Structure 1
Amino acid sequence: MRAVVFEEFGQEPMVREVPDPAPSAAGVVVRVRATGLCRSDWHGWKGHDPITLPHVPGHELAGAIEAVGADVVNWRPGDRVTVPFACACGRCDTCAAGQQQVCGEQAVPGFTHWGSFAEYVALEQADTNLVAIPEGLSYATAASLGCRFATAFRAVVTQGRVAAGEWVAVHGCGGVGLSAVMIAAACGARVVAVDVSPQALELARKFGATQCLNASEVAAGTSPGAGVGEAVRALTAGGAHLSLDALGSATTCAASVLGLRWQGRHVQVGLLPPALGDPAVPMSRVISQELTILGSHGMAAHAYPPMLEMVRAGALRPDLLVTSIVSLDEAPAALSTMGSAPGPGMTVIEP
């Protein structure tokens, strides 16, 4: 098969022929019809994750099953499927409790093994992890669900416990941030979108943001994130009830916390690379204002139905988040430039 391969961290990948994957006993091989280009892929390519080289990235995907392992019960060749980016083991106590998104034995395509920037990808524990693509949902839209959209859905709805009428601040309007804006607005919340890109903020307004704040135009303040936090509190008459760091940096994390009102809820969604150290969280404010600090990591396959029902009903339009579709041959350049020129919305690769 043809695949995007990198042999050194930070060096531009190449498209070349590699061996076709084979399914494990409990796994499947999927013919990839669409795969998202995510900031997590960029982090992996930069060496921020423990990846064995050479490597094929890609973890947001949709396609049709090509081959099934001998122990697979619920799936057949030809089935249209997508998958959460974190494939759970299906055997441990965490999985038994229904919390597959934090399974300690999870396999992540594009990280723990070769991923979906390829014509085929192997996926583990198919009966635990695969999600059927509803009729009428395109492969490109389905691919966008597995990481950014599903992650945002759980962060806003399950972890964040959003309620109609609340103020929600979203810091960082890339793929996961724009998804969070759309989801929070669909749930009846008032959204403040924060970014440094006018194009990203324009999309955020299109997807339901009530207020848009260009962080580059806000005075820095006395500490990282302080100026943006103060601006969010002003726009929301006291602070956000719920705030998400959808980018992942020390500054956006602090700004998200500092923009909350009393007893507000911060959800950390954006990845914070260990190599950059742990961010300084303003814990004195967390204590004095009884703030809640939460993490959110993907969404288990069994939790997809409510999200898919909102998509089916038209309340959520993840298809509108896909702003660019590129070929496999265009993927290496798109990946390597993502850190400096990510572009608005989501980019999907069609192998």
Structure 2
Amino acid sequence: MDAVVFQGVGEPLQLEQVDRPDCGPEEVVVETEACGICRSDWHAWQGDWDWIGLVPQPGLIFGHEPVGRVVEVGENVTRFSEGDRVTNPFNLSDGTCPYCRAGKANICESSVPMGFVDFQKGAFAEEYSVRNADQNLVEVPDDIPAHEIAGLGCRFATAFHGVSKRVDIEPGDWVAVHGCGGVGMSAVHTANALGGNVIAVDIIDEKLEMAEELGAVASINSREVEDVPQAVKQLTEGSRGVQVSVEALGIAETIQNSVDCLAKGGQHLQAGLTTSEEEGEVSLPVDNIVWDERDFHGTYGMPPHEYDEIFRMMDSGKIEPGKIVSETCGLGDVPDVMERLGDFDTMGIPVCTEF
């Protein structure tokens, strides 16, 4: 089968013929309909996360935002059959640890990141496998286009879980979103659906315009203001600041801006993962966090059972994730799209839809 294969850090990705995946007793094999092309793939390709021990090896297949049809079922799988249309979280869980049993499978003790390790290759291929299928697979409505489901993957799922579950947004609350890439756009759209007054912050006007189309009531080009937190506060009622602020880039400056634009009792939501420049360490105004009783939350993927909530909100028209999908392409185009992600000027979420 055809697949896009990793050759080494920074080396051009290659479209190659590879063996189709094996199907273990707890696994299924899925024929790919679509797969999102995520900046996390780009970071791994560039070797950005070697400081946490994530070092991809040549031969790896990236791609962790898939949707497709089951074509082979392991002998111990009971919930799914050939022909079922499915997706799955990128962080595959075992279903047995205390976090899984508590409904927090996204932080499973034995979580396996699909498409980042050799023993769980990804979906930039004609077919892909999913481990612990009964635990991780989610049945997908047939009437939702494949590119919209793929657009839900890592970025929309992480933003949706964070905005709807990790922080509390009441109708009328002010919400700032720092960084309007795929995660940031998803956070803007979800926060708006929950009744938040969203302020989008980015350095590219076209992205800010798209954020306003997705529900932001105001936007700030951070290159055009001297003090981003103060610019955010000036847009809020009484200039007190926002109740929730989302950071979707993983850059020290924007993380600090996000914390600093909060009102007293405000909640910071960290969605962006850092690069090798920060290596996971960013200085924060700890005294202000204490004095103002601000909260700091993380969001990482989404447990499988929360997909149903997204599907219900899509069915009612409250959210339209397809609006965030900016382009579709064929499997052979994935290397070029990955190259462009390094320029940080791609809009929304690109999705591969032709295999």
TM range (shorter): over 0.9
Distance 1:79 1:342 in 2: 36
Identify the match of residue 81 of structure 1 among 71, 86, 89: 86
List alignment gaps of at least 5 residues for structure 2.
Answer: none
Letter in 1 for 2:176: A
1:258 aligns with 2:260: yes
Distance 1:341 1:286, change over 3 A: closer
Distance 2:314 2:18 in 1: 36
| Mapped contact 2:7–2:14 kept (Cα < 8 A) | no
Distance 2:212 2:14 in 1: 37
Distance 1:274 1:129 in 2: 30
The equivalent residue for 2:272 is: 270
Identify the match of residue 210 of structure 1 among 201, 210, 217: 217
Distance 1:9 1:342 in 2: 22
The equivalent residue for 2:41 is: 41
Tell me the C-alpha RMSD between the 2 structures: 1.1
Distance 1:262 1:268 in 2: 18
> TM-score, normalised to structure 2's length?
0.94
List alignment gaps of at least 5 residues for structure 1.
Answer: 220-226
Q: How does 1:1-351 map to 2 (within 5 A)?
A: 1-49=1-49, 50=54, 51-112=56-117, 113-219=120-226, 227-236=227-236, 237-273=239-275, 276-277=278-279, 278-350=281-353, 351=355
Q: Secondary structure at the match of 1:212?
A: strand
Distance 1:204 1:337 in 2: 20
Letter in 2 for 1:235: L
Distance 1:323 1:337 in 2: 13
More displaced, 275-284 or 188-197?
Answer: 275-284
| Mapped contact 2:340–2:346 kept (Cα < 8 A) | no
Aligned residues: 344
The equivalent residue for 1:222 is: none
Q: Secondary structure at the match of 1:337?
A: helix
Letter in 2 for 1:98: G
Q: Secondary structure at the match of 1:294?
A: strand
Letter in 2 for 1:14: Q
Distance 1:316 1:207 in 2: 9
Distance 1:85 1:206, change over 3 A: same
Distance 1:275 1:4 in 2: 28
Deviation at 1:57, TM superposition (A): 0.7
Distance 1:96 1:197 in 2: 42
Distance 2:163 2:33 in 1: 28
| Mapped contact 2:95–2:135 kept (Cα < 8 A) | yes
Distance 1:256 1:77 in 2: 46
Q: Deviations over 1:172-211 (max 9, x none)?
A: 1111111111111111110000011111111100000001
| Mapped contact 1:12–1:333 kept (Cα < 8 A) | no
